[in-house]
Structure 1
């Protein structure tokens, strides 16, 4: 029997914000409590929405409550946010949004607070002006922590507002056609047969398809047969820029969940690919993806920052270094990042990226190439990182990313050509 959807949403949001858990992790568990696909979709919509608009929802509550609920009542505070999000942003009838939210309070053992919750939601129904934030602090106006706003203002003085606005949008659905199983043309035709509209935004990446509307990917044609993968358009550039060929030895140094590993093998099925990740649990997804797509790689649980433990005498023709980062480029896809990531996280991440770059560089053969990638928009993780590395390593040279991309580095901003925020730079090891 399904549990109360709003109660599940409130509990999931509480676990993210107060307990620091990942939204994708808690949402997956919560969805297992529901039977209907529509209910699962609504649960995701509400959780994502509360994460996107949390400062504004908190501010409305501050106007209407003497003080926030604390301690064991915190899940009920998030239930109020769930109710407010429905009233303001969803096409749920007001009476249903209020009634269902009050009912959810009972499911959360908040019987004594049903009157309060009902009164707050009805106040918002009567006073829509409480959602006017034109005079509010920037963190409330833009629904981002102040430190992220300051970083973006400094790095992108002309574009910071656009980046914040894009982060509030729902991410589109991109697919990558597995060219070993079908062709982009055949797959577009299969989608069209089901009435699903899609386009090919990049001539040089014909397997990258952008769907006009999001869909349950497991219901798309050829999912079980491995005809496609879900991968954002920005991430699909990684294997393309890497340029691995058949027979190359390739290291994917921080590989989970395996999307880029699989793409490398789709483009060069006879490449010898070592897929590495520090977290053994995350490698389960890598194995699943390789299996579904019919691909083969050597997979290893190991730390890219400590190759003495695993590399032996191996060297590589191509290395993909998609390093751990702030993930500030994928906030629209993972709206909880803005609440999980802290300003104090950035300096240790930059240090870790430097360490991985320095430690992995000796594994690259002379005349071979390394692609550095992040899903960050912060310069200290991206261009500044590469500039510092070049200053230390005279045998490293920046080279154009690809024939179609003559620039020496590329910072993709969120929403640019409907892609996530990403950074790429390609280094060649020169013979000394």
Structure 2
């Protein structure tokens, strides 16, 4: 009989040797015959241990004589698994967590250290039990007592209170939040600058929860009412999402997604609600020429086709052929025929110059808005990698802007919360391309409620209960229209469908990345 904790250990070993967490997990699960319950346990152990790596290391530092980074790598991984179960998986009995972790040590060549593993875990249990009174006091002070029994949010706050009673947390808010919620210091500093202390902690907690699964209903094949009815008949709980006419959120355990009603018929596809907003910001119309510059695996491309009633031409560009193949498969399942594939780097496709009514640049980014979906992203991204991505994003903006006809639309979008990749990128583009201006979504757009005074949209997960995203709708001025004259304002401020536009110019800011000396 296969051991789910052993499979989790194998996957985590690969992650600690620089494999991507999702790839390592898929590899072990594809080679196993686990039950659905055990597959969920492996997934939770792998992703949870990776997300909580800094907090787990801090626990080892507190309990052992040697620091976590001085421990043998396999021993550190095994301790992570045991401590994660004891601290965060409260439905698993403590005795089971300890015994199975000791067995892992014996099975994986560390039999001589089984006593050490047993001792560390049992000491952790004693300190957790001893800290409950102190932790309960902290919970009452932070309002967690009133949240008991209110699902994951209340449970997480209670665990955080108890953990903070065990690990001596620094007074410095960056260090405290980084250790307690398990993030590198530079990310905490970045969010504190944008949100302040209270909302930064809310965002930290949100990213440590399991992600929701949202569907986008293909209204060319069915209706949202029919999909909702079929899913409920199959025992799947669903809820509609405000402002998004095609969105359904699945709640509870759903099993294999491809086995749900309507999948093979192309009734729906999986797409987070914030990603669905992007195509509404683009607002494509039937009969237009639209280019998706970084299209694979095709979620937004297929949404564009649906919004265009599958009439017109959509060029799907990407430099990765294997990902474009996934896009093609998705389009075929959804029965969409207006999409054309164009392999290649969007910085080198001159054939598209001045041909597009609308262009979507969903740019490669640091993904800081989707950390809950990519457990290891918080440890892979660095201030240096963000700088590199920001340079790439500028190159892509520069090139894809040339594809848009005069009077056309370019939407720039990222799934990150970093100003250098978002606001600063737009400011740079507008300052160096005076023929462009921000055109906020029209008032009847599903995206309009999320628009800011500056004209762009910035989705914070803890505020909007969806992935973090940034998006801005840019309009190229018509040829011959003055960029400053008062007499030309009427032409400038009304788009082809009567949407208001904004003459938005900001100076480029010398944005300094917050880098702590104690970066984790």
TM-score range, shorter chain: over 0.9
Q: Which moved more, 1:101-110 or 1:323-332?
A: 101-110
Report if the CA contact (8 A) 1:247-1:270 is conserved.
yes
For 1:21, the equivalent position in structure 2 comes to: 19
2:179 to 129, 134, 140: 140
For 2:391, the equivalent position in structure 1 comes to: 351
For 1:54, the equivalent position in structure 2 comes to: 53
Larger radius of gyration: 2
For 1:66, the equivalent position in structure 2 comes to: 65
For 1:114, the equivalent position in structure 2 comes to: 114
Distance 2:401 2:427 in 1: 15
Q: Which moved more, 1:142-151 or 1:217-226?
A: 217-226
| TM-score, L = length of structure 2 | 0.78
1:248 paired to 2:288: yes
1:257 to 297, 322, 337: 297
Report if the CA contact (8 A) 1:68-1:77 is conserved.
no
Q: After the TM superposition, which residues 100-179 of structure 1 pair with which residues of structure 2 at under 5 Å, given as runs?
A: 100-128=100-128, 129=131, 131=163, 132=165, 133=167, 135-136=169-170, 137-138=175-176, 139-157=178-196, 159-179=199-219
Following TM superposition, by how much is the alpha carbon of 1:42 offset from its aligned partner in structure 2, in angstroms?
Answer: 0.8
Report if the CA contact (8 A) 2:60-2:68 is conserved.
no
Following TM superposition, by how much is the alpha carbon of 1:34 offset from its aligned partner in structure 2, in angstroms?
Answer: 2.6
1:12 paired to 2:11: yes
1:329 paired to 2:327: no
Report if the CA contact (8 A) 1:249-1:271 is conserved.
yes
Q: CA RMSD in A?
A: 2.1
Q: Which moved more, 1:357-366 or 1:167-176?
A: 167-176
1:17-56 alpha-carbon deviations (Å, 9 max, x no partner): x333321111111211331222111111111211222111
For 2:239, the equivalent position in structure 1 comes to: 199
For 2:315, the equivalent position in structure 1 comes to: 274
2:343 to 301, 307, 322: 301
Q: Which moved more, 1:127-136 or 1:323-332?
A: 127-136
Give 3-state SS (helix, strand or coil) of 2:461's partner: coil
Distance 1:187 1:251, change over 3 A: same
Following TM superposition, by how much is the alpha carbon of 1:427 offset from its aligned partner in structure 2, in angstroms?
Answer: 0.5
Report if the CA contact (8 A) 1:34-1:40 is conserved.
no
Distance 1:339 1:13 in 2: 14
Distance 1:231 1:123, change over 3 A: same
Give 3-state SS (helix, strand or coil) of 1:251's partner: strand
Give 3-state SS (helix, strand or coil) of 2:326's partner: helix
Distance 1:256 1:72 in 2: 41
Distance 1:349 1:185 in 2: 41
1:107-155 alpha-carbon deviations (Å, 9 max, x no partner): 4333333222222212212221483346243220231100101111122
Distance 1:214 1:248, change over 3 A: farther
1:157-197 alpha-carbon deviations (Å, 9 max, x no partner): 36322222221222222111111221001111112212323
Q: Structure 1 unaligned runs (5+)? A: none
Q: Which moved more, 1:213-222 or 1:41-50?
A: 213-222
Give 3-state SS (helix, strand or coil) of 1:345's partner: helix
1:327-381 alpha-carbon deviations (Å, 9 max, x no partner): 0011122221101111211111111100100011111111110111000111111
Give 3-state SS (helix, strand or coil) of 1:424's partner: strand
For 1:80, the equivalent position in structure 2 comes to: 79
For 1:185, the equivalent position in structure 2 comes to: 225
Task: Select the structure with the greater relative contact order (CA < 8 A; seq sep ≥ 6).
Answer: 1
| TM-score, L = length of structure 1 | 0.93
Distance 1:261 1:214 in 2: 28
Distance 1:192 1:353 in 2: 42
2:436 to 390, 396, 407: 396
Following TM superposition, by how much is the alpha carbon of 1:312 offset from its aligned partner in structure 2, in angstroms?
Answer: 5.6
Q: Structure 2 unaligned runs (5+)? A: 132-161, 480-520
Q: How many residues are matched?
A: 427
